[in-house]
Amino acid sequence: MAKTSSPPQTGGNAGGSANKRGRLMLIGGGIVAVLALGAGGFVLGNVLGNRGTPAHAAAPAAPVVPAPIFVPLDAFTVNLKSEESERFLHTGLSLKVADAESQARLQQYQPEARSRVLLLLSACKPEDLQTVEGKQKLAEDVKKALTQPFAAGLPPQKINDVLFTSFVVQ
């Protein structure tokens, strides 16, 4: 029986251990990369997922304020009561109403509404309209006149405010 001799391996273990270490480094690097990508995806998903929600979702929502409803009236020009000379008033009005029903009635009965306002304006004296208090009183008088129902059986108009859009006394 013959002995076969194999060539001696010099550093055979050193080469195998370096190869093994390289594989472990490659596997460890892959695991770190997968974990980093997973964490990045998680963070990115949370950031993009919460884009439309407020940071403090537990806070109560602010009450919804309904849009105001305005009814503009054509400008009025009337002669004023004056003993010194002829004076006139030119004014524009807009009414702020509480609901669409009042808006519809004011538009339907606009000739009657304008007549009520004209009668009020023509009874004014120029000196009463020179002060802020006089203008505020006139606005209250217009509000009272236009709040009254236009016909029997109709509800009163819900007018919140009378706004002057122009006001000239000459």
Please write the tens of the pLDDT for every residue from 16-69: 677 777 777 778 777 877 777 777 777 777 767 666 555 555 567 888 888 999
Phi, psi of 39 (to 5 degrees): -65, -40
Of 107, 90, 92, nearest in space to 162 by CA: 92
- pTM greater than 0.85: no
Q: What is the CATH number of domain 69-169?
A: 3.30.479
Per-domain boundaries in the chain: 69-169
Percent of the chain with pLDDT over 90: 56
Indicate the pairing of strand 69-80 with strand 87-97.
antiparallel
Token pair of 61, please? 């929502």
